[in-house]
A = this chain, B = another copy of it.
Amino acid sequence: MPHLQLLAPVGFPLVAPGEPLLPLITQTLRANGLNLEDNDILVVTQKIVSKSENRYVRLDTVQASARARELAAICGKDERVVEMVLRESDRVIRCAKDVLIVRHRLGFVCANAGIDRSNIDAGDEQILLLPENPDLSAATLQRQIGVECGVAIGVLIVDSFGRPWRLGTCGVCLGSAGIVALNDYRGKPDLEGRKMEITQVAQADEIAAAASILMGPSDQSLPIIVMRGLDFAGPGCAADLLRPPEQDLFL
């Protein structure tokens, strides 16, 4: 019977700014008696990747622009945080009370450009940006683990985004290596030989959501998840999941 397992190793330590992740990951897996196998997917929360890449910004170094002050007055957020949201983004999608939704320079549409203030261990006056290039971070980690552990795995870097129309956040894929992120069934027949209506499945987002069930909202305590049971190996990256702006009806 087809099945999947999701495993959440415990005891992952806090990540110091700039601290390499590989040793922390392999030590945590070992302490949990968990040996990676070929075709496993290692799901890693964005936050520990950002910390490891020292993506902190001290707010007292940030000078808010006029545009940032204008938006901050609307959404009620710190104007220096809004300034950093703007620097990380190429477009403001919605700004309203308590809400600032932008298109991140990487193409993700999300609140606050994915910038975090809570749950980081560097004090209130710092913020944490998304990784510089999450697909590259995932590929690097995949390669390092291949060398260190001798296994061919996939790596996903995930975050949690809110959505239009529905309440609550859901896990989404920000970076991906070694797995088919967007599963394309276009032109393939369904069970009755007709052309399928659902033709592309956001497999990496579904895996991200699955891992997020175990990670929970305070995602520093269980920041890595191993998914085991199916072979998702193939070419692909998180950028595959971005709808081209010219095909988007909600930009």
Residue numbers of A with Cβ under 8 A of B are: 1-10, 32, 34, 94, 96, 99, 101, 103, 108-109, 116-121, 124, 160, 163-172, 182-183, 185, 190-192, 194-203, 205-207, 209-210, 212-214, 216-218, 220-222, 229-230, 240-243, 248-251
Contact = CB atoms under 8 A, between A and B. Distances in A.
B32 A164 contact: no
A165 B243 contact: yes
A198 B170 CA distance: 10
A82 B195 CA distance: 19
A108 to B, nearest CB: 8
Given A116-B197, A119-B197, A249-B96, A202 B243 contact: no
Contacts of A229: 6
A108 B165 CA distance: 7
A75 B8 CA distance: 45
